[in-house]
Amino acid sequence: MEPTIISGKEVSNSVKDEIALEVEKIKSSGGKTPHLAAILVGEDGASRTYVNAKVKACERVGFGSTLVKLDADTSEEELLNTINQLNNDNDIDGFIVQLPLPSHIDEQKVTEAIAPGKDVDGFHPVSLGKMLLDLPSFLPATPAGIVEMLRHYNIPTEGKHCVVIGRSHIVGSPMSVLMARNANPGNCTVTLTHSRTQNLNEICASADILIVAIGKPEFVTADMVKEGATVIDVGIHRIEDSSKKSGFRLLGDVKFDEVAAKCEFISPVPGGVGPMTIASLLKNTLLAVQLKS
């Protein structure tokens, strides 16, 4: 059976269409244009691409956007001051600080400096705590985008075994929480795996839904996947390739061709989880506006 390729591009477009309609309604009833800001520190190529894509997505849905670019040698104090300015700027509904940050800056300190009401990346302890308690909050953008994909394709989750590879604070851990929630999508029995997990291959091969956020190119191979499984690939890797105009090609954490042959549903890289992360960020920004009013 041919696998269904989950198109993050298609799902994110439908999410963006819904948001654009909401923005129209807000504007036509005299409300303020939602406004998302992003802080980019340094010149990392991938980060610049992500931030530019986020700004472009704002235009697509009718949001205002602001990009604050800071030099790579910006001090932690200067960055915290910039965050404080955005916290106090009434025109900015939500903002993100693009990660990773230069090594002289403490990412946790930066995350905690963002006002919880503007934390549209959903990384602040208040947002994560509210997620655990099922309270309305900003869900971390990548896991929330994956839930949206599962919903869009009506992929059954209740009672299924979901295996998550990776326990990062921004992807794997919150993903495991969302898949275990009493919700649809959700209600899975979840196994969260990491670098100390024993028998990883066997555990993965028992998954109905396998979500891979390990950060190692093409780590998951066909022998790790059950026939008929759903596989979601979060990884993004730029691999040098002189035959490409950009000089690189993108690979995920999953060896796509051989794994796809066993799957019922699989998300590709690029065009899978990436666009969904941006759509969730826009959704969170709209929520920031709604929670304020």
The residues annotated as belonging to the active site are 54, 98, 121
Closer to ligand NAP by CB, 34 or 174: give it.
174
| Cβ 288 vs Cβ 89: under 8 Å | no
Q: Which is nearer to ligand NAP, 83 or 146 (CB)?
A: 146
Interface with ligand NAP (CB under 6 A), residue from 180, 194, 222, 261 = 194
**x/- contact string, 129-148, with ligand NAP (CB under 6 A)?**
-------------x------
Taking the complex as a whole, the smallest distance from the CB of residue 147 to ligand NAP amounts, in Å, to: 14
Can residue 200 be called a binding residue for ligand NAP (CB under 6 A)? yes
Please report whether residue 166 would count as binding ligand NAP according to CB under 6 A. yes
Residue 106 has what DSSP assignment?
Answer: -
User: Could you say whether residue 62 binds ligand NAP (CB under 6 A)?
Assistant: no
The reply on whether position 229 binds ligand NAP by CB under 6 A is: no
By CB under 6 A, residue 235 contacts ligand NAP? yes
How big is the site for ligand NAP, counted in residues (CB under 6 A)?
23
Q: Which of 229, 213, 194 is nearest to 273 (CA)?
A: 213
β-strand partners of 94: 36
Nearer of residues 185 and 274 to ligand NAP, judged by Cβ: 274
Residue 139 Cα distances to 19, 22, 83, 135, 179, angstroms: 16, 19, 20, 10, 13
In the list 65, 137, 157, 277, the residue contacting ligand NAP (rule: CB under 6 A) is 277
Pairing assessment for the beta strands 229-233 and 263-266 based on DSSP bridges: parallel
Q: Which residue is nearest to ligand NAP (CB)?
A: 168
DSSP state of 203: H
Residue 287 binds to ligand NAP (criterion: CB under 6 A): no
Amino acid sitting at position 206: S
Amino acid (one-letter) located at 93? D
Of 64, 116, 186, 215, the one binding ligand NAP by CB under 6 A? 215
| Two tokens, residue 198 | 């024993």
Under rule CB under 6 A, residue 168 binds ligand NAP = yes
Contact 138, 127 (CB under 8 A): yes
Identify whether the C-beta of residue 174 lies closer than 8 Å to the C-beta of residue 125: no
Cα dist from 187 to 42, 140, 168, 180, whole Å: 41, 19, 21, 5
For ligand NAP, the binding residues (CB under 6 A) are 142, 165-168, 170-172, 193-197, 200, 213-215, 234-236, 273-274, 277
